[in-house]
Each structure stands twice: as C-alpha cells, then as structure tokens.
C-alpha cells in the first residue's frame, strides 16, 4: 500500500492542519504558518494542499482545505499532494475512519505494466481507528481495481480463474470449476452458449468459505472478460473499455476479500460465470432460443445482452440452496449510466429492510448507491412469441429496469436478493482514486453484511 497507515506516529512526523473554507483562524494553525498561508492566497479551498515551512526553512507541515461539506474521502488527495515522509492530523477529522480509508485509497497506483509506485507516505491513524479494518477495506478495493485495470490479454477466463484461486488460497477457501462442454452436462447452457466462440473456454467458478452451518451469503459476479457484442458487434469506440466487463466479478471478489479477512461468521459462496463474448463460426446468434438452468427458454433478441444470460444460470444455481442473502453485481447496461451516470450505481431489491440498510450505509460511507424500482408492468416488454422470454425489449426504454426484471425470474426461493448494475470504472481522477477500474458499492455491502452477520 503506497500510504502506510500506522497507529503510532514517529518523532519526526509533521502535522496536517484541516482547514474549512474561510476558516483559517479556527484551524489551530501557528501564527507563522497562518501568515504563510495568507501570503500564498490559501483560504481552505476544497482539496487544496499548501506545504508550510518551519522556522529554520525546513518542511514544517501542511494545510489541507476541506471546503464546506466536503466528504471525508477527500482526504485521499493528501496521498498525492504531500511530500514523502511521516505525517499526522493536527486535529481529528470529522469522520476519522472514513478519512483514513480515503487516505489509503488515494494512494492507489496500478503498477503491473511499469507505472512507478506512488510516494512513500506514513500517516498516523486518528485515535480509535482500527488499522486492520482500514487495511482490509483498502485491500478489497485495490483487488477490484487491479482486476478491472488488467487488459483481457492478461485477464481472460483462465486468468480470472487464477485470480480466484489466489484469493482462495490466501483465506483457505475452496474452489471448483465447471468448464467447457462440462457446462452442458451440468446444465449451464446459457453460460456455455455465450462463451463457446472464444479460444478461452467458458466456465463457472465456484468459491466457498466459512463454516457450513453458518448463515449463507452468496455473491454472483458477471465475469465477461471481454465483450465484442458477439454477432451484434459493438462499434470500435464501444469496445475500448470492454476489458472492464468483468467488473462485477472483480467487485464481488473485492467484497469477498473483505468478508474473509474480517472472519465474518457466514458461509460465503462466490459464483463467477467467466466467459469471453467472441465472434466465430460457433457463436450464438440473434434469433436463437437458449435453454437455461432454470428451465426458462430465452429468445436472443441481441447477442450484446449477454451478461444477463450468464448471470441467469449462475443465479439459478445460487437460488437452489436458498441463501440468507444473495447479491449479484454486473456491468450490465448502458441504460444505467444514462440514468445515473458513472458514479452512482443503481440497485434493485424487493427486500425493504435490505434497501434501507444499503441506503444508510451508502450515505455513511460515501459509497454512492441509488435504489431503482423492479417495476413489474415492464415485465411484459421481455415477452417472446416463440420462447418464455426475450433477453431484450423492442422499444429500448427502461433498459436497466428490464435487465433487473430478467434476472429476477431466476431468483425464486431466496428471500433477500439485490442486483447492482455497476460501471466499475472511474472516468476521471478523484481524491480517493485515479481514473480507471473502480470498486462500487462493496464498502456499503461490507457494512451491511458485517452488521447482519458479523
């Protein structure tokens, strides 16, 4: 972790003064530093850092503006702005744990392909903040970011399976895989159909952890390692970010990492249908009718709506054992981005208590989520003249809602289910992370799961 968070500051650690906008006089800043800040036109602008000298001209500390109403994750900007060395907060931030998480997340750098690591910073944690909790949350987010940032040349279905096995080995979890034509024999026809045109065989990855008699929590993540759109091929501009189409898998693995590192008293299961939606002579076609594990027949209106197909088979398997909580995450629809943009993922659930808990955790942890309706009248938009259901609608309206309604048909027994239509990508740098692969919703989910089962 580029930012090392410690519980005891060194004797040489330097202070960071948190300054509200136009609040220099209330920040407890020494007189000389106050004069320096005014000479440099610093008045506490949100996100601005000003290094201040000591009396001998050496580095003496820093001022950091939080504006008015800036969130605690904004502290992540310090990871990039401060000079290397040891630091501590001169006064406790309003949200100390969240500020520490922001610091940790802000130091992230993806270094696999030669980018240099960030500056070496050591930062004393605010009093009362649990260092191990902050580190496991940051580690989960970093895992999700790393997986999404890795191009498909190094993150195809085989590589995604390797990533799952690596995580499992770190936590003594078990992994089984159903691969290639065995998917047909084991009744996962939609996963097979979507991935069969790729040179990298489709598979269903199944990781389990925890005591068998503990409450069952199941996470399902869309693992489409690249999406050409299939025979309904995407334009080249729409393929540029398709390495991130396994962002649902990356996010559930990040969440699983948090859960296992915390030792929560749950029976965790992670299901990842890992495929590449490629083009070849054996690719599935528009107009095909696919069988599914659930027994529902699906007419293919568009091969670019493949994520819901692989999730359908995986959700049907998950539902068979009736877990206490079933979560699926997927980079599923462009409609979700049109409705809410890249930073605010919608989620869908019929569980009012779960919806309330997620909303509260989202707000408290600055992990944006927004509930959308499972609007049943739109179910008829998925009708087919020759099969039980079509995988797309014909009018193009309410695409995220109808995708969620499609998935709901494969969840029948589980009382508490939620679907997250995430982007898994940050288009621009933010204080708590650079542009690129992103974890969305998993910090809020970790809070809810910890509260329910911890």
Q: What residues are labeled active site?
A: 234, 308
Q: ∠ CA 450-271-141 to the nearest 5 degrees?
A: 50
Cα separation, 101 vs 5, whole angstroms: 10
Query: Would you say the C-alpha torsion 117, 118, 122, 124 has a positive or negative sign?
Result: negative
C-alpha distances in Å from residue 131, one per residue of 6, 96, 106, 194? 7, 11, 16, 43
Identify any residues that bridge with 178 across adjacent strands, giving them in sequence order: 204
CB 1 within 8 A of CB 137: no
Burial class (CB in 10 A: 0-12, 13-18, 19+), 45: middle
Cα separation, 264 vs 266, whole angstroms: 6
Give me 416's structure tokens.
């508490």
Other beta carbons within 10 Å of 212 = 7
> Which of 218, 216, 227, 186 lies closest to 203 in space, CA to CA?
186
Q: What is the largest CA-CA distance in the chain?
A: 82
Residue 201 makes CB contacts below 8 A (sequence gap 6+) with: 157, 179, 180, 195
114: left (phi over 0), alpha (psi -120 to 50) or beta: left
Per DSSP bridges, beta strands 289-290 and 298-299 are: antiparallel
CB 361 within 8 A of CB 454: no
């Amino acid at each position: 972790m580029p930012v090392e968070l410690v519980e005891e500051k060194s004797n040489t650690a330097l202070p960071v003064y948190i300054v509200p906008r136009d609040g220099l006089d209330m920040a407890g800043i020494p007189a000389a530093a106050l004069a320096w800040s005014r000479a440099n036109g610093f008045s506490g602008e949100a996100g601005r850092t000003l290094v201040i000298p000591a009396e001998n001209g050496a580095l003496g500390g820093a001022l950091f503006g939080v504006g008015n109403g800036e969130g605690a994750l904004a502290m992540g900007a310090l990871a990039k702005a401060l000079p290397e060395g040891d630091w501590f907060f001169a006064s406790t931030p309003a949200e100390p744990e969240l500020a520490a998480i922001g610091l940790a997340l802000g130091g992230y750098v993806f270094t696999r392909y030669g980018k240099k690591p960030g500056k070496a910073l050591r930062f004393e944690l605010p009093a009362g903040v649990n260092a191990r909790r902050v580190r496991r949350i940051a580690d989960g987010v970093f895992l999700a970011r790393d997986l999404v940032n890795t191009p498909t040349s190094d993150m195809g279905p085989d590589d995604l399976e390797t990533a799952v096995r690596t995580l499992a080995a770190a936590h003594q979890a078990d992994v089984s895989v159903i691969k290639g034509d065995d998917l047909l024999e084991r009744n996962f026809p939609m996963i097979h159909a979507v991935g069969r045109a790729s040179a990298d065989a489709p598979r269903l990855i199944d990781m389990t952890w925890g005591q068998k008699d503990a409450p069952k929590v199941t996470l399902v993540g869309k693992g489409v390692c690249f999406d050409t759109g299939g025979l309904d091929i995407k334009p080249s501009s729409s393929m540029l970010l398709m390495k991130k189409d396994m962002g649902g898998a990356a996010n559930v693995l990040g969440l699983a990492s948090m859960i296992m590192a915390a030792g929560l008293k749950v029976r965790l299961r992670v299901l990842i249908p890992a495929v590449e939606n490629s083009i070849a002579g054996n690719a599935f076609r528009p107009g095909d009718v696919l069988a599914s594990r659930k027994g529902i027949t699906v007419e293919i209106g568009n091969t670019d709506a493949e994520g819901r197909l692989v999730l359908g088979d995986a959700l049907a398997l998950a539902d068979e054992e009736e877990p206490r909580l079933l979560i699926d995450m997927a980079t599923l629809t462009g409609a979700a981005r049109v409705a809410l943009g890249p930073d605010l993922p919608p989620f869908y659930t019929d569980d009012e208590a779960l919806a309330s808990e997620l909303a509260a955790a989202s707000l408290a942890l600055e992990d944006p989520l927004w509930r959308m309706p499972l609007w049943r009248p739109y179910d008829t938009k998925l009708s087919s003249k020759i099969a039980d259901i079509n995988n797309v609608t014909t009018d193009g309206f309410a695409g995220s809602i109808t995708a969620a309604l499609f998935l709901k048909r494969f969840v029948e027994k589980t009382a508490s289910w939620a679907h997250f239509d995430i982007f898994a990508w940050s288009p621009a740098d933010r204080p708590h992370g650079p542009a690129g692969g992103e974890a969305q919703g998993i910090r809020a989910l970790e809070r809810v799961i910890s509260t329910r089962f911890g």
